[in-house]
Copies of this chain bind each other. A is one copy, B any other.
Amino acid sequence: MEIAELGEFGLIKHLTKDITPCNTSTHKGVGDDCAVISTGTEDRMLVTTDLLMEGVHFDLTYMPLRHLGYKAVMVNLSDIYAMNGTPSQITVSLAISKRFKVEDIEELYSGMRMACEHHKVDIVGGDTTSSMTGLAISITAIGYAKEEDIAYRSGAKETDLICVSGNLGAAYMGLQILEREKSVYNQQVKEATQQAQRNGSNVEEAIAQIPQPDFAGKEYLLERQMKPEARKDIVEKLHLANVKITSMIDISDGLSSELMHICEQSQCGCRIYEERIPLDYQTAVTAEEFNLNVSTCALNGGEDYELLFTVPLTANEIVSAIEDVKVIGYITKPELGKALICRDGSEFELKAQGWNHMTTE
């Protein structure tokens, strides 16, 4: 059977479906942003891991190594925050192909260390090896949370409010811009090379004369794609406001896909409103430029690393007053399905088109 038939989530479900933990310390295994391990105190340990592969998750033609290092750490810390936890340690494994110099790995590492400093996280170990092909980065993050504070995907209840931090779709639009400029540049290199060969002039010089792309007005989108920030601040604000988070997940694969995870694991339905999905001005303008529906970008674009969470209806006033948090809908009975209410009042069933590297799409 082709893996694409199952997709990433289907494959994981298939492989892990009959795993029964044999250690009493295994409090929660596969199926949430983090595993949860008992420690013998009121604190639980949270563990999450991500494997980033060159050519699949990043493109070094436009991704500076320092940014890549920063982002590789952030995507893991985001999973710890998504459990309402505090990250404390990471391990970093790298597989490095021959084309990298020590200075390159220093750059990558400096981005990782900057991310760790911002979030007060220690690099405590890892593995460094060679790769026959591209760069591979595997990071495992460890954090902690009190059991009563942990926000699982499975805790959403009927009438709970569905909230989102920040805004969505910006990282996806940033990626579109980078991909467009890459293909423009490749075309320019081809033309400059042909012209130089025809004229008998120096090819390298001709390439060096190609102007740098102009990203004016798109800085925010590029930053969202290249240097995402895990939302520690939101978790802290919710804690200070004494809000009980009933379920939470970070938005790495797109709002639709994540909301479906919450609904599936909480055995509930949902209603969200298109007009309430938070969007940045640059995201909207750029989507128009690319002839894309901005709501589709927000629903299905990946890598936002914002938080999607539910709170009891009674917390409405409190969460609505928190800067950078928006209520976008509410949780319903499962039989009501997962509905998106559009600006014109029409209803659609939510689908996870998501950011799934393994489907054939």
Q: Given A30-B125, A48-B125, A93-B51, A23 and B120 touching (CB < 8 A)? A: yes
Does B3 lie within 8 Å of A37, measured CB to CB?
no
Q: Tell yes or no: A53 within 8 A of B by CB.
A: yes
Q: Kindly provide the distance from the CB of A100 to the nearest chain B CB, expressed in whole angstroms.
A: 7
Does B16 lie within 8 Å of A56, measured CB to CB?
no
Q: Tell yes or no: A49 within 8 A of B by CB.
A: yes
Does A14 lie within 8 Å of B102, measured CB to CB?
yes
Chain A interfacial residues counted at CB < 8 A? 77
- Cα A29 to Cα B11 in complex, Å, equals 34
Q: Which residues of B contact A11 (CB under 8 A)?
A: 102, 105, 128
Does A123 lie within 8 Å of B1, measured CB to CB?
no
Does B93 lie within 8 Å of A34, measured CB to CB?
no
Does B129 lie within 8 Å of A53, measured CB to CB?
yes
Q: Given A47-B124, A93-B51, A130 and B56 touching (CB < 8 A)? A: yes
Q: Tell yes or no: A21 within 8 A of B by CB.
A: yes
Interface positions, chain A 26-42, Cβ under 8 Å from B, are 26, 28-30, 34-35, 37, 39-41
Does B40 lie within 8 Å of A1, measured CB to CB?
no
Q: Given A101-B2, A131-B53, A140-B140, A126 and B30 touching (CB < 8 A)? A: yes
Q: Which residues of B contact A177 (CB under 8 A)?
A: none
Q: Tell yes or no: A179 within 8 A of B by CB.
A: no
Map CB proximity to B onto A105-126 as digits: 1 under 8 Å, 0 otherwise: 1100100010001001111111
Q: Which residues of B contact A134 (CB under 8 A)?
A: 132-133
Given A22-B122, A30-B126; 20 other pairs, CB 8 A cutoff? A1-B101, A3-B96, A14-B106, A15-B105, A19-B113, A29-B124, A29-B125, A35-B124, A37-B45, A37-B124, A39-B41, A47-B124, A48-B125, A49-B93, A49-B127, A49-B140, A51-B127, A51-B129, A56-B129, A56-B131
